[in-house]
Structure 1
Amino acid sequence: MKQMLTTKSLDAMPPATTKRYEVRDQKVNGLHVRVSTTGAKVFYTLVRPNGARRRIKIGPYPVVSLADARRRAMEIARDVELGEFDKIPDVPVERAPSLGEAIPQFIELYAKPRNKDWKRTESVLHKFDGLKDRPIDQIKRQDVTRVLDDIIDNGTPTRANRALSAIKKLMNWYVMRGDIETSPVALLRPPAREVARDRVLNADEIRTIWHHSDVEGYPFGPFLKLLMMTGQRRAEVSDMRWSELNLDEGVWELPASRVKNARLHIVPLPPQAVDILRSLHRFLDSDFVFTTTGRSAISGFGRLKERIAATLPENTQDWRFHDFRRTASTGMAKIGVAPHVIDAVTNHKSGVVSGVGATYNRYTYLNEKREALELWASDLMKIVNS
């Protein structure tokens, strides 16, 4: 298809239905735009240096304007005519990055700014390291499927689902950037069926883990106790800062930058939690509550889980740290806390306070949340001391 390209016509071009299509510019010979199924538009130009046909990528629209694309296409055509094309090192000849190049770029430019759990995304993407030397536009569905099959064979089917989700995001991001035209994994479905977890710790397990916390000591011991007592997410508790705490008022203010759903969250602290926090020593010039270095929050939760598992009966059902959160929610429900208050305590998106209201009514349900957490803390102490 050939037409006089304009900004208006570029903006109006619909996404491709099944396969990308091209529209050639009537004004500048060789210049054309490719439109992918995602709607991404990328400028290219065709030239024949030394008689060999070459397609050269100019860049994605609208990052590269139509005027800039025409100017660059004419510069390349001039260099070809003058025999200087191969002497210019910065001509962006079309080339997709290898997966080994793509992963760190994707993590740095996309995952880190958007995903608080980017380290887990980075880790799971390295499951595809066997393909790291392959240009991403040459990776095929069969290549990805083989990696997923190996993950499943190792006994971690849900990990295969996470790996597929991560590689899909990476590929889609490169499609949107115009570095590749289509995602090779777009049609792949999660290889494993997932069942929502409903694991809740029983009284004996709660008691055993609480007493193990005393053996652990600082920093993991008090971390475990606050994890069980507050019902907040593992990363939110482990990365707790002193600057977020007002122990005199019994308030923990989690900024939006540290919360999964990116909205400020106020956690009223029951007296038992305040007592635990007051008992902790503080690293000099460090804002981290739980730390071994003063420079970063605690890590090594896999080893912590192994130490806890060694204290539990051998036939104990599989558990995760996230189960503490579910246990707290279930415990509050059993003692009569209303569902919308539990949602407010745990900061679920299904909660009733959201959007602008969450910004201007930061302390909405503060009293109800305080009462709920104090009731749960008291019930927890009864379990621990029984």
Structure 2
Amino acid sequence: MKQTFTTKSIEALKPATVKRYEVRDAKVQGLHIRVSTSGTRIFCVFVRRDQKRRRIKIGPYPMVSLADARRKAMELARDAELGTLKPQEPKEEGCPTLGKIIPDFIRLYAQPNTKDWKGTQSILKKFDPIARKRLNEIKRTDIVRILDDIVASGTPTRANRALAAIKKLMNWCVDRGVIETSPVAHLRPPTKEISRDRVLSHDEIKTLWHGAIAEGYPFAQFVHVLMLTGQRRGEVSGMRWSEINLDEGLWTLPANRVKNGRLHVVPLSSQAIDILKSIPRFMNSDLVFTTTGTTPISGFGRLKERLALSLPENTEDWRFHDFRRTVSTEMARLGVQPHVIDAVTNHKSGIVSGVGATYNRYSYLDEKREALELWAKELSRLAMKANLVTNG
């Protein structure tokens, strides 16, 4: 394909579908652009030296402008014609290995851009079997083999997460010019995911509430606040004292701690306030739920296993995230309006969408407080009027 390059025509080049393609410039002989599946555009030029045609990489667009690329291409062609073209210096290192690039990816991309970067770091460990392979040597079959092993181990959803993580890494490498194409471009997830619809029964709610009491501080209070507020596990476990106003009964989550990136205010029920007042504070620590004073609590898998011991053996599998769905369902049963439930859980369901979502900035604070108080009273009833304040 040949065309006269312009800034507009270069930006209009679509990502390759399966394999990278080239477009030649009609104005400067030898100058062309290679377009990858991620949409990365790299200027290159063909020159003849010692009766052999050589491709020389100039650089990625728009870091290298069209004018600079044409000027450089003509300089290289002139040097080749005059015999003064310097041989390309060998790189000190070849293409890096997957094991070497992962820490760079986590530090330069995942940490600044994703809240769950530790989860990404963890899931990428699944690719340890090919960590010593250079990126340009990794084949699609290498990735598929690892994904198949994850599925075979009984965690098909985790295989989907692993594919998503390795895709981001490979696309990041393509954008940086580390590799030309991603070996996993257009690779479909190995498993079709089904949205969870698990809602805890009233007996399960009561059992888990009482089971949490045996955990003591900080896990008992954590589980109870999780059940009372209906917020996400990471938001509750990372709760800061600086976010809480006990006098006004408000918990203000900053945008950088919320999944959708929007400040979220959670009214605290009287039961939640009593629980928070009972929690001992670590000196010079802002964390509410902590065992060290420096990091939030963790070990939720083990906590879930301990709590599950209080449930009947034939209990359907449950997760902490099911508390959110349970709270929403119970609020609906109690007559709370859907848009108020969405406001409580900070969830965008589509009930208020489009232009309405853009201009509707009302926070429903009073309605949220009323809904959470209503739910707290119901939870108290379900727990058989147990003492909701757990001692630290």
CA displacement at 1:146 relative to structure 2: 0.9
Partner of 2:34: 34
Paired with 1:88 and 1:220, the residues of 2 have a C-alpha distance of 57
Q: 1:40 to 1:87 in 2, by over 3 A?
A: closer
Further displaced range: 119-128 or 306-315:
306-315
Q: 1:201 to 1:191 in 2, by over 3 A?
A: same
Q: 1:359 to 1:222 in 2, by over 3 A?
A: farther
Paired with 2:66 and 2:11, the residues of 1 have a C-alpha distance of 11
Q: 1:128 to 1:217 in 2, by over 3 A?
A: same
CA displacement at 1:223 relative to structure 2: 0.6
CA contact (8 A) 2:18 2:185 kept: no
Paired with 1:314 and 1:363, the residues of 2 have a C-alpha distance of 45
CA contact (8 A) 2:123 2:165 kept: yes
Partner of 2:390: none
Question: Structure 1: any 5+ residue segments left out of the alignment?
Answer: none
Indicate yes or no: 2:141 matched with 1:133. Answer: no
Partner of 1:63: 63
Paired with 2:247 and 2:229, the residues of 1 have a C-alpha distance of 17
Partner of 1:384: 383
Indicate yes or no: 2:173 matched with 1:174. Answer: yes
CA contact (8 A) 1:264 1:362 kept: no
CA displacement at 1:277 relative to structure 2: 0.8
Q: 1:201 to 1:12 in 2, by over 3 A?
A: closer
Give the residue type in structure 2 aligned to 1:371. E
Deviation by residue 1:335-380 (Cα, 9 ceiling, x = unmatched):
1111111111111122656799889976621111111100111111
DSSP-derived class of the 1:252 partner: strand
Further displaced range: 367-376 or 351-360:
351-360
Q: 1:13 to 1:191 in 2, by over 3 A?
A: closer
Partner of 1:264: 263
Paired with 2:297 and 2:203, the residues of 1 have a C-alpha distance of 27
Partner of 1:316: 315
Partner of 2:388: none
CA displacement at 1:3 relative to structure 2: 5.5
Give the residue type in structure 2 aligned to 1:133. R
DSSP-derived class of the 2:220 partner: helix
Paired with 2:91 and 2:127, the residues of 1 have a C-alpha distance of 32
Question: Structure 2: any 5+ residue segments left out of the alignment?
Answer: 386-392
Q: 1:79 to 1:110 in 2, by over 3 A?
A: farther
Paired with 1:114 and 1:180, the residues of 2 have a C-alpha distance of 22
CA displacement at 1:104 relative to structure 2: 2.5
Paired with 1:164 and 1:210, the residues of 2 have a C-alpha distance of 36
DSSP-derived class of the 1:385 partner: coil
DSSP-derived class of the 1:44 partner: strand
Query: 5 Å matches for 1:232-381?
Result: 232-350=231-349, 364-381=363-380
Deviation by residue 1:62-97 (Cα, 9 ceiling, x = unmatched):
02223444565577778885575355868xx9x654
Identity of counterpart residues, as a percentage? 66
Give the residue type in structure 2 aligned to 1:43. F
Paired with 2:192 and 2:3, the residues of 1 have a C-alpha distance of 48
Give the residue type in structure 1 aligned to 2:43. F
CA contact (8 A) 2:76 2:85 kept: no
Paired with 1:179 and 1:88, the residues of 2 have a C-alpha distance of 15
Equivalent pairs, count: 383
RMSD: 3.1
Deviation by residue 1:92-124 (Cα, 9 ceiling, x = unmatched):
x9x654322332233233322332122112211
Partner of 1:191: 190
Partner of 1:21: 21
Paired with 1:12 and 1:339, the residues of 2 have a C-alpha distance of 43
**TM-score under structure 1 normalisation?**
0.87
CA displacement at 1:271 relative to structure 2: 0.5
CA contact (8 A) 2:229 2:268 kept: yes
CA contact (8 A) 2:37 2:182 kept: no
Give the residue type in structure 1 aligned to 2:366. N
Paired with 1:86 and 1:277, the residues of 2 have a C-alpha distance of 66
CA displacement at 1:316 relative to structure 2: 2.1
Give the residue type in structure 2 aligned to 1:35. V
Give the residue type in structure 2 aligned to 1:222. Q
Partner of 1:108: 107
Paired with 1:260 and 1:76, the residues of 2 have a C-alpha distance of 50
Q: 1:51 to 1:300 in 2, by over 3 A?
A: farther
CA contact (8 A) 2:37 2:185 kept: no
Q: 1:2 to 1:337 in 2, by over 3 A?
A: closer
CA displacement at 1:173 relative to structure 2: 3.2
Paired with 1:293 and 1:48, the residues of 2 have a C-alpha distance of 66
Paired with 1:249 and 1:19, the residues of 2 have a C-alpha distance of 59
Paired with 1:340 and 1:20, the residues of 2 have a C-alpha distance of 47
